[in-house]
Structure 1
Amino acid sequence: MFTNELPAHQDYLQHFRVSPCTGPCIEGCMHYHEGELPRRLPTKDANGEWSYKPYLCKFPKPCRYQNSCTFAHTKEEVYYHPLVYKTKKCSYMLNNGICTRYGIHCPYSHDDYLRTPNGENKPSVEVAFDLATFKTLPCSSQAIHDKKTCHFYHHYGDMRRNPYLFRYAPVKCPNVIEVDKTGPRKECHIGQICNKAHNKVEIYYHPATYKQARCKYQDCNVKGVCSFLHEGEEKNIEKKPLQEKNIFEDTGNIDWEKEAKMLAMKSKILTNLLEQAQKKNKEYLTFNCHYCSENVGIVVYQCGHLGCSSCATERFCIICGISANKITSIRKPLISYI
């Protein structure tokens, strides 16, 4: 099944953590030990489908489907799955030829050679880094991977607005406080149209700050997507977001497919902003006077209806007719009489 693989890759795909260790155990043992779950050897059916996918099973352990489950039960079943093993570059450095993060059995590649999941062993093509779209779209991968170097966002603090669609400066917004994975403790009330950055990703990967200063880490583990300069790299000459293009000029040099994707993305974003604005406007209108629907309600009848200073002249509600000798001012937390 793995005859087209390199000998070292074939050995890991077929034997790593599949059988128990019978001793004497040596450093870098390929077998599983007491207390560890064995790794199921993935096989293909008649339709070419793998016996299980490289995604962790969500059922509580032990899984009721046991070995017939179509999802991985251990991290080893994910990392050393034929669809995952050595298909991506490792973001961690080597120390005496050993990965500083995953050790001697690192499932990622430390050279320019990358496996392809179909076993043809042709160099796989990685997603090209794009400053405009980096971390602007959600990640759809369910496999275990390095989220720091992934070009897509995974949580609120990792999300970034496209600086070419949204005109914001690489300055921290004072309205946002302590952004993390779950979101900000205090969110900016202006939203996506705010002209300031809402997290560190929007600051570091802004055209005005990207690749302007040198990285302070000699062994940077995100070198491929690091926003700082490394040896051999030049400063980013693009200091500000590109201006709007006239698509009817210089049409011979335009990448129409890319332009169409950008316009579709911008249309979707503007549609979402319009829906948010309409929702806020609808919420605002609920505070208008129930009688004239024009002035902002400043008094609340005991029945719950709002009235403005011009309409609230009766001792009973005009809407429901309920007698209400008292009304409460929204502006002042006091109860006043009509």
Structure 2
Amino acid sequence: MSNYKVLNKNSISCFRTKMCNSYVSGTCKFTAAKCLYSHCPICTRRCPFYLSDTSFIRYIPVLCKNIVFGPNFEVIAFNCPYGNDCIYSHCLDELLYHPNFYKTIACKDLLEGSCKNPFCPFVHKKSEQRALKHYKVPFSKGIEIPPIKYITLVNRMIHSKGNSEFSKRHAILPKHENLSTSCSSTLKDDFEIEEENDITT
């Protein structure tokens, strides 16, 4: 697959966290799977990190039971009483592009033949495999979560040295004309472009 893109930490923080204005106006020439911006008007992906310290995350890679999903896991009703403060994933994008889910599981489509997702969240080759990291979830508002390896609930944020620098480089997704030129000079370095013959297991 040409124009296959792998998100790095900066890209994960902003990928599809803004609604696609072209989609709203009916002029987006990309499908939801190919667009850098969200095509979900009910629930747009939240940034998973607290940018002041990226060792803290806003939500876990588990879908919220208060969200009503359609047959393809599209959001059809948002019934969560906690809103954006909920520590569960509110849409499939929040789950698949979560830092402790993205590129941790092998792509079944590729193993069975081919993958057509230019932003596939699953592993296509060994060099993409991401190691799970330990994250902390503050401000849980009493919401309980199941035991999840490498994720811990904490009462407050105590900043770690070296994690605030990320906020200075927090990328803003640019307008895009096509997949091959979709990133500005700032974000081009935040994507790894893989050629079709490189995508192997």
What TM-score results when the alignment is normalised by the length of structure 1?
0.33
- Comparing 183-192 and 203-212, the one that deviates more: 183-192
Question: 1:198 aligns to what?
Answer: 90
Residue identity over aligned pairs, in percent, reads 26
Aligned to 1:162: 47
Rg larger in structure: 1
**In structure 1, C-alpha distance between the alignment counterparts of 2:124 and 2:84, rounded to whole Å:** 32
Q: Which residue of structure 1 lines up, in the alignment, with residue 65 of structure 2?
A: 174
Q: Higher relative CO (CA 8 A, sep ≥ 6), structure 1 or 2?
A: 2
CA offset digits 1:176-210 (Å, max 9, x no partner): 12258985335111111111111222111111111
Which residue of 1 is the match for residue 130 of structure 2?
236
Quickly say closer, same or farther: Cα 1:238–1:134, change in 2 above 3 A.
Answer: farther
8 Å contact kept, 2:74–2:92: no
**Does residue 1:227 correspond to 2:118, yes or no?**
no
The residue identity in structure 1 corresponding to 2:104 is: Q
Structure 2: unaligned runs, 5 residues or longer: 51-56, 138-156, 173-201
Partner-residue secondary structure (3-state), 2:76: strand
CA separation of 1:236 and 1:260: change in aligned 2, threshold 3 A: closer
Alignment root-mean-square deviation, CA: 3.9
Tell me the CA shift for residue 255 of structure 1: 6.2
Query: Residue 255 and residue 186 in structure 1: after superposition, are their counterparts in 2 closer, same or farther (change >3 A)?
Result: closer
Q: Which amino acid aligns with 1:226?
A: C
Mapping of residues 111-190 of structure 1, within 5 Å: 130-141=11-22, 142-156=27-41, 159-165=44-50, 167-178=58-69, 183-190=75-82
1:35-74 to 2 correspondences below 5 Å: none
Q: CA distance change for structure 1 residues 256 and 136 in 2, over 3 Å: closer, same or farther?
A: closer
Distance, in Å, in 2 between the alignment partners of 1:203 and 1:240 is 17
Letter in 1 for 2:47: N
Alignment check: 8 A CA contact 1:135 1:152 kept: yes
CA distance in 2, matches of 1:148, 1:164: 22
Q: 1:150 to 1:177 in 2, by over 3 A?
A: same
In structure 2, what is the Cα distance between the partners aligned to 1:213 and 1:128? 15
- How far apart are residue 227 of structure 1 and its match? 0.8
Aligned residues: 137
Q: 1:241 to 1:135 in 2, by over 3 A?
A: farther
Measure how far apart 1:257 and its partner are.
4.2
**1:133 maps to amino acid:** C
CA distance in 2, matches of 1:225, 1:111: 9
What TM-score do the two structures reach when normalised by structure 2?
A: 0.53
